[in-house]
Structure 1
Amino acid sequence: MRLPFFVYGTLRPGRHNHDAFLRGRTRAEAPAHLTGAVLYEGPGYPYAVEEPGGVVYGELVTAVPEAYARLLLDLDRLEEYAPGDPRNLYERVERGVTCEADGRSVRAWVYVAAPSVAVRLRARGKRIESGDWPAR
């Protein structure tokens, strides 16, 4: 399934991983938000933790078709995600995100904190109340 990606941290425009991973590989990037999640500070990057009532702000990124397969692999590696691996820091999940420009809902891949990481963050993490990592 070739879904767009919802990015909310170092992959957003102007952040260090945007140029390294996305420049030249996207067809569109647009402001969007994810409901049902909150942000926590990580060591140099944020974690989205699924939680009712929260909102996370970011960008909806659509890859150019010929770059999609490689980009998916590269982003999984960046986020240290492997399907079914209990050591994952993030899980890649399909969620609906809302485009800021027109309010339409789009299904997208989102990297959210893995369950064990989410438990630790809820107990001892620093929540980003604005839901917007660059604006913290």
Structure 2
Amino acid sequence: MKLPFFVYGTLRPGEHNHDLFLRGRIRSEEPGLLPGAVLYDGPGYPYAVEAAGGTVSGEIVTALPEAYGELLAVLDHLEEYVPGDPRSLYERVARDVTAGDGRTVRAWVYVAAPAVAARLRAHGTPIKGGDWLTRR
């Protein structure tokens, strides 16, 4: 499935990984919201943890068709996601996100892997309002 990506942390415009990983590989980006998740502060980057009642702010990023495979591999590596590996920090999952104009878009989202999510639920610090850009 060649889905767009929903980014909510260091890949957002103005954040340090945006230009490093997305420049030259994307066709478009637009504001979006991920319902059913709570954002937690991490060691320099956030984690979205699936949970009822929360909403996470971010961007819906659409890759250039010719760059899709490369971008998918680069983002999997950045997020330390290896399919089936229980040591992964994140899992890449397909979720419905809401675009700024209200339409629903199916997108890849990197959410906290089960062990990380359990630790965050027990001891983590949620980011009020679910927006990484307002955490400071």
TM-score interval for Structure 1 and Structure 2 normalised by the shorter chain: over 0.9
Q: Any runs of at least 4 consecutive aligned residues in structure 1 with deviations exceeding 3 A, and if so which?
A: none
Whether 1:117 aligns to 2:116 is yes
Confirm whether residue 46 of structure 1 aligns to residue 50 of structure 2.
Answer: no
After superposition, the CA RMSD in angstroms is 0.4
Query: SS in structure 1 opposite 2:91?
Result: strand
Corresponding residue SS for 1:57:
strand
Aligned residues with identical type, % of pairs: 73
In the alignment, structure 2 segments of 5+ residues that lack a partner are none
Aligned equivalents of 2:17, 2:98: Cα separation in 1: 23
Match of 1:86 in 2: 86
| Distance in 2, Cα, partners of 1:74 & 1:25 | 11
Question: 1:129 Cα shift?
Answer: 1.5
Q: Find the counterpart in structure 2 of residue 57 from structure 1.
A: 57
SS in 1 for 2:118: helix
Under a length normalisation based on structure 1, what TM-score does the superposition of the two structures give?
A: 0.98
Which aligned pairs between 1:1-136 and structure 2 lie closer than 5 A?
1-100=1-100, 102-136=101-135
Q: How far apart are residue 24 of structure 1 and its match?
A: 1.2
TM-score normalised by structure 2 residue count: 0.98
